[in-house]
Amino acid sequence: MAPQSTLDIQAARQRASFDPDVLHRVLLAGSKDPDMRKRVAQLISASPAFDKTSKAYLSRPKQIERGLKAARDLFQAVDEHDLDYIEYLEALVSLIDDPIGLNLHEIAFTPVIQAQGSDEQQAEWLPLCYNHAIIGCYLQTELGHGSNVQQLETTATYDTKKDEFVIHSPTISATKWWIGALGILSTHGVVQARLFIGGKDYGPHLFIVQLRSMKDHSLLPGIEAGEIGPKVHGAMSALDNGWARFNNVRIPRKQMLSRFAQVEPSNGGTYVKPPHSKLSYGGMIFIRSQMIGNLSWRLAKAVTISVRYLHMRRQFADPELKPGEEQHGVEKQVISYPAVYMRVIPQLVNTIVFMTAGKDMANLYHAMSAELAGGNTNLLAETHAVSSGLKTYVSSAVVEGCETVRRAMGGHGFLASTGVGRIYATELPSATYEGDNYILNLQVARAALKSFKAFVGSASSDPKDALKNLTASSAYLASLAPPPKLPLSAPTAVKDWQSLSLLQRLLDLRAALTVGRLASLLASGRKFGEMSWECVQVSEAVVEAFLAGRMVEAIGKGGLLTDGAGEREKAVLEKVVTFFLLHRVSHALPSLLEFGILAPSPPLSLSSSTPLKQDAPLEQLRLSLDSVARELLPELVGLTDAFGFSDWELDTTVGNHDGAAYERMLEKAKADEEQNIGSKAEQQRMYREYIRPILERGRKLTGGGGDAKL
């Protein structure tokens, strides 16, 4: 007979009201080949080269070697199975759990040349990139500067006589640092450096620099480089993050990426400025745009493992049953406790919201890139604002979400073999790389202030024109035209709180008035630099309003979450979106009350015998949130199945499809004994050298007690 845990997961799977396979295709809508991911996963998992069983026990050098071996073996698989470029990227980015240096070549080196290189440069360099005749990295961050790109110290001085740039690290703090794939793998790099012509500083620009010999991989003259060392929690141990210093390294003028800005040799070096000063940040915007979708799938893995485990895990008898009614030996499923499911459901919902936002962000980036290719920079500011906001919000939420679902699993969640801790450790640095989240909050707030001031100024004279000029990232400002009559009339029934238009309006007003408060503080004499903490609240409010609008649109006719969905899939996705909005409105209650958007509840009676008024609007909001959570509860395993992960991809002892968690935990502990604590001979040596002396000392102190047990 199957163990209870297997029966529990099977029963949970049967309770889903929709078809997970159909929903899987909805989540992958827009993909030209929705079955490609599963197909490539099966191919990769079948290869012994990508075995996952022993990596937790490897030393740091062996972890680095494992990453390099994975890169080599991946190309062997590409050649053997004739994988195309998209299939190769799927295997690299989605299926090989540990980030390796090759990832940076694909997401940070090649795309920068694609976006910033001239036609001639692309013709020269991209075939080398695509065929991996060279392997590259992106050298931006320095010891002294990361997010503040304008103050990077590495210099690129134009030598008019030799028609070359001289790349130099003038200070210790100019040392390039944290550069993925630089430690050992890369042959070339795109270096972000300050351009100097005739002593004049033109700010950061991008340069292709060869780092290592193509004959023996030794560092070229004038270049010092190495690996920076292990990271927190042992994360990303297969990725060779490196450092580099340049001592007057010369490169040809043609190796400055020059699609937008150029240096011409005439008149001792003539600078041709780009159409927009921030165009050199295009590589960073691309990476941020990719992060949103990638992070959502990492959270999906953590949520899948946790949700499955919490369905098979049972603890304590049902407190609602009377003595004699409980079934002997069968305890209550942990997922059924509100203290558990109200932690897990928000993370599952976030996963689907972030997947949708990731597709939205990718569409916006590609639209911007297409316009930039034609010299149009209109979408640059919008893309920067959206990518900055989503990056800070999604990365913070994913990191917090991974830890939340791990804690919900109780003690077993702390075991490495369960897999959630590994995902958390890998994604933890996303809150700081490609722009520290607190710094990005300032950028989001600045963009929001600019939009707010433009809208208020325009709305006073021509409200229709003001509304017409709003973008997706500033659409929430439409809630101010006409000026709203506050407080709004709040529902007094549970179902009425589930109006998507109402919930969206509440989040829009909260965002608009939060930005308005910041504008008022500035008008009263406060300086922007003194209000970085207020900017965190502004950024969160603005991003949540943006997500609310996009999700309401996604669930509508022709939206990102309805393409290919049947009626049952649409119904469950509408519950997902409703829960997301309700949860965010509940979280925003302090601001909604502060700004008078909602009226506060009447004071509670101090008498313990006076019942709480359940029809009070805010109580109905809470009841509505709990109501939708209970409606989603039987759908949870089906929703995680819709992500489509194989057991090999999840790499967990407790979140496998069949639910046999305890069996796998014990099997793995037995199988890993020698890797974990050494061979029997080594265990005996440790006993003789360390344990026996302690016991012998103890027996002496107690007069030889314990001899009978020998």
Sign, CA dihedral 605-608-610-613, equals positive
The rounded radius of gyration (Å) of the Cα atoms in the chain is 29
Residue 648 in tokens: 């090999």
**C-alpha to C-alpha distance for 475 and 452, rounded to whole angstroms:** 10
**C-alpha to C-alpha distance for 172 and 448, rounded to whole angstroms:** 36
- The residues with which 210 forms a beta bridge, in sequence order, are 188
- In which residue are the tokens 């003194």 written? 530
H helices within 555-651, ranges in order? 567-587, 589-594, 617-632, 636-641, 647-650
**C-alpha to C-alpha distance for 475 and 469, rounded to whole angstroms:** 9
Residue 621 in tokens: 């909001």
Output the CA angle 282-284-285, nearest 5 degrees: 65
Sign, CA dihedral 247-251-257-258, equals positive
Residue 206 in tokens: 């991008």
Q: Buried b / exposed e across 156-179, counting CB within 10 Å, b at 16+? A: bbbeeeeebbbbbbeeeebbbbbb
Residue 323 in tokens: 């003595």
Per DSSP, the residues of 621-632 read HHHHHHHHHHHH
Pairing of strands 249-252, 242-246: unpaired
C-alpha distances in Å from residue 429, one per residue of 107, 433, 460: 17, 6, 44
**C-alpha to C-alpha distance for 398 and 348, rounded to whole angstroms:** 11
Query: Do residues 435 and 288 lie in contact, with contact meaning Cβ atoms separated by under 8 Å?
Result: yes
Please indicate if the annotation marks 180 as binding a ligand. yes
Sign, CA dihedral 247-253-257-262, equals positive
The single-letter DSSP state of residue 418 is: G
Query: Do residues 381 and 474 lie in contact, with contact meaning Cβ atoms separated by under 8 Å?
Result: no
Q: Which of 434, 544, 569, 649 is catalytic?
A: 434
Please indicate if the annotation marks 374 as binding a ligand. no
**Phi and psi dihedrals of 229, rounded to 5?**
115, 175
Catalytic residue status for 434: yes
- In which residue are the tokens 């953590």 written? 302
The amino acid at 101: G
**C-alpha to C-alpha distance for 380 and 284, rounded to whole angstroms:** 12
Residue 616 in tokens: 């009070």
**C-alpha to C-alpha distance for 138 and 283, rounded to whole angstroms:** 9
Annotated binding site: 141, 180
Annotated binding site for FAD: 141, 180
Task: Indicate which residues carry an active-site annotation.
Answer: 434
